[in-house]
Structure formats: C-alpha cells, structure tokens
Amino acid sequence: AQRVTQPEKLLSVFKGAPVELKCNYSYSGSPELFWYVQYSRQRLQLLLRHISRESIKGFTADLNKGETSFHLKKPFAQEEDSAMYYCALTSSGGSNYKLTFGKGTLLTVNP
Amino acid sequence: KAGVTQTPRYLIKTRGQQVTLSCSPISGHRSVSWYQQTPGQGLQFLFEYFSETQRNKGNFPGRFSGRQFSNSRSEMNVSTLELGDSALYLCASSLPGGSTEAFFGQGTRLTVV
C-alpha cells in the first residue's frame, strides 16, 4: 500500500531562518512526488513536483529514492510562506490521478 | 480561465439523508477526482472519473458514489448519511495524460447532524 508520512504537524520558524518540511513515502514502484500548499482562505494548489526539478517561491525538493524521502526546503523563510503544506504521491505513467496525501504540516513563519 | 467550481459551499444534513455535491471542472479538463478531508484522516481519495467512466476508486463504502456527465461536470452522492461523513469534500480537475497538476476547488463543507 502506498503511504505518505509527514512527521511534523506543526513547524514554527522565524523569518529569514531555513526551513525544512519532511516527507517520507512508502510505494512499491516508481512514484511521482508533489508538494501542495494551502494558504489561509485559499484553495489547495500545487507548489512543485519532483519531475520538474524547479524552484518555486524559493522552495526546492529533492527525491531521495534510497531514503524514500521528498523533503521541502527553503533557505530563508518569509512570513508569506505561512501555510499548510501537503506532500503527495501518485504512480508514474498511465491513468494516475489518485493522489495519496500526507496529513500535512502547518508552517508558521514568525516576524 | 475559471477555476474548479464546487456547489454548494456549505450543507447541513440529518443522519440517514442523502446528499449530492456538484463539481464543474476547468474548461478542457476531462479528469475529475474527489477527495474527503477530515481533521483525523486528512485528505483521502474517493474516486476519479474520466470521459464519464470511473477509472479509480478509493477505499470508501458503497454509500459513496459519483458520476460524470458528457460536459465533464461531476457529481458525488452520499446515501444514508452518518455523522462520520461530516467533512470537507474537495474536487480536483486535471488535463488528460500522465501525472499532471490537479487543480482543486474550494470544497463543499458537509455537516451531518
């Protein structure tokens, strides 16, 4: 069975500090990994996906297949980064719109 | 381009009743997925429809059902409501093809009393 674990329900950092949101997964096969974000009073939206290998709003995430992890990192947190972050996976290829989500990490960036 | 629209935004129902929720995807998106979000279980996949056919189904009882129309609009139905069905129900639409971005609606908040 596929599973996504986000060990931290809450994470609080100060503005300008580095931030790392952890995500570990369990999946037999080749998964596609995503980070979704939900800002206050906004809808859930894609932040980044591992296949794009891009940096969005200063965030990056590297897929580590050996450690089955996909941690989200940002070197200098901003107050506007405060939001709920969800790690998610789906199977690569084919009809694969079934996203398995972690339970989320609420990030608070303090001034 | 209009986003994913879910109606109604809020619903209060009594145990034993049934409810129908609606989702209008982004124009051109033929895949529609439904998720249940609760504080305890988080976001859980219900089912996914593509071209009026259910392609994937999550681990939910048969009381949860859905359908998709030729214009890609989708409905989900929950029969014989239970208190535990109280949740935020999210709909997401995607373009056809591999692992593309899912665009989410704002959800329907269902409260069962």
User: What local confidence, expressed as pLDDT, does residue A92 receive?
Assistant: 66
CA–CA separation, A96 vs B41, rounded Å? 21
CA–CA separation, A1 vs A4, rounded Å? 10
User: What local confidence, expressed as pLDDT, does residue A53 receive?
Assistant: 75
- CA of A70 to nearest chain B CA: how many angstroms apart? 17
- CA of B15 to nearest chain A CA: how many angstroms apart? 27
User: What local confidence, expressed as pLDDT, does residue B17 receive?
Assistant: 98
The mean pLDDT values, 10 residues at a time, for chain A of 111 residues are 93 97 91 93 92 85 92 97 95 69 97 95
Judging contacts by C-beta atoms under 8 Å, the chain A residues touching residue B55 are 95, 97
Q: Does B46 touch chain A (CB under 8 A)?
A: no
**B99 pLDDT higher than 70:** no
Classified as helix, coil or strand, B93 is strand
Q: Bigger pLDDT: B2 or A103? A: A103
Task: Convert the pLDDT of each residue in B25-40 to its tens digit.
Answer: 999 899 999 999 999 8
Beta strands at A45-49 and A31-38: parallel, antiparallel or unpaired: antiparallel
Cα separation values, A93 from A13, A32, A97, B56, Å? 37, 9, 10, 14
Q: What percent of chain B has pLDDT over 70?
A: 96
Q: Does B97 touch chain A (CB under 8 A)?
A: no
At residue B109 the predicted structure's pLDDT band, cuts being 50, 70 and 90, is very high
- CA of B29 to nearest chain A CA: how many angstroms apart? 12
Q: Does A12 touch chain B (CB under 8 A)?
A: no
